[in-house]
Structure 1
Amino acid sequence: MVTQLINTWTREPLEESGMTAEHTWIWREMISAIDEQDLSGQKVLDFGCNQGGFLRLLYDQRPFASGVGVDLAQKAVDIAEARKDGRPIDYRATSDLAELGEIFDLAFSHEVIYLIEDLARHAEQIASVLKPGSNYYAVTCCHKDSPLWASWRPRIQAFSNINVPDHGVADIAGAFRAHGFDVAVSRFLASALVPLEGPNDYFQSDVERLDCYANWKLMFRMRRL
Structure 2
Amino acid sequence: MSEVIRTHFFDYEEDSRLEERNIHFWRALAGHVQADRSLLPGGVVLDIGCHRGGLLELLHERFRPAKLIGLEPLVSARRVAGQRMSRFTSQTLLFGAEGWSSIPNAEVDLVVGHEVLQYISDLSQLMTGIRRCLTPGGFAYLALGCHTENPLWATWRHELEELGHRVYDHSPLEIMAAGARAGLAPSVRPLRDTGWAYHDPTASESFSYPSVEALLEHQFRHKLLFRFECRV
Q: TM-score, normalised by structure 1?
A: 0.91
AA partner of residue 174 (structure 1): A
- Give 1:217 shift: 0.4
State percent identity of aligned pairs.
26
Q: What is the aligned partner in structure 2 of residue 164 from structure 1?
A: 167
Q: Counterpart of 2:44 in structure 1: which amino acid?
A: K
Say whether residues 1:19 and 2:24 are aligned partners: no
Letter of the 2:200 counterpart: E
- The residue that corresponds to 2:54 in the other structure is 53
CA distance in 2, matches of 1:117, 1:104: 23
CA contact 1:74–1:93 (8 Å) conserved in 2: no
Query: Does the residue aligned with 1:211 lie in a helix, a strand or coil?
Result: helix
In structure 2, C-alpha distance between the alignment counterparts of 1:111 and 1:37, rounded to whole Å: 20
C-alpha deviations, 1:121-156, integer Å up to 9, x for none?
Answer: 111111111112210000010001111111111011
Hey, what's the Cα distance between the residues in 2 that align with 1:9 and 1:120?
28
1:216 aligned to 210, 214, 222, which one? 222
Q: What one-letter code is carried by the residue in structure 2 that aligns with 1:76?
A: A
Does the 8 Å contact 2:9/2:74 carry over to 1?
Answer: no
Task: Name the residue aligned to 2:111.
Answer: 107
* 1:197 correspondence with 2:203: no
TM-score computed with the length of structure 2 as normaliser: 0.89
Q: 1:38 to 1:223 in 2, by over 3 A?
A: closer
Whether the 8 Å CA contact 1:66–1:88 is kept in 2: the answer is yes
1:142 corresponds to 2:141: no
Contact 1:27 1:54 in 2 (8 A): yes
Q: CA RMSD in A?
A: 1.9
Q: How many residues end up aligned between the 2 structures?
A: 223
Provide the secondary structure at the position in 1 that maps to 2:173: helix
Greater than 6 Å deviation, 4+ residue runs: none
Give ranges in structure 1 of 5+ residues lacking alignment. none
Q: Is the 8 A contact 1:39 1:65 kept in 2?
A: no
- AA aligned to 1:13 is Y
Following TM superposition, by how much is the alpha carbon of 1:46 offset from its aligned partner in structure 2, in angstroms?
Answer: 0.7
- Counterpart of 2:30, as a letter, is I
Instruction: Measure, in 2, the Cα distance between the counterparts of 1:214 and 1:86.
Output: 33
1:81 equivalent to 2:87? Answer: no
How far off is 1:25 after superposition?
1.3
Q: Which moved more, 1:82-91 or 1:5-14?
A: 5-14
Which amino acid in the other structure matches residue 210 of structure 1?
Answer: L
Q: Which residue of 1 is the match for residue 65 of structure 2?
A: 64
Q: Which sits farther off after the overlay, 148-157 or 213-222?
A: 148-157
CA contact (8 A) 2:112 2:140 kept: yes
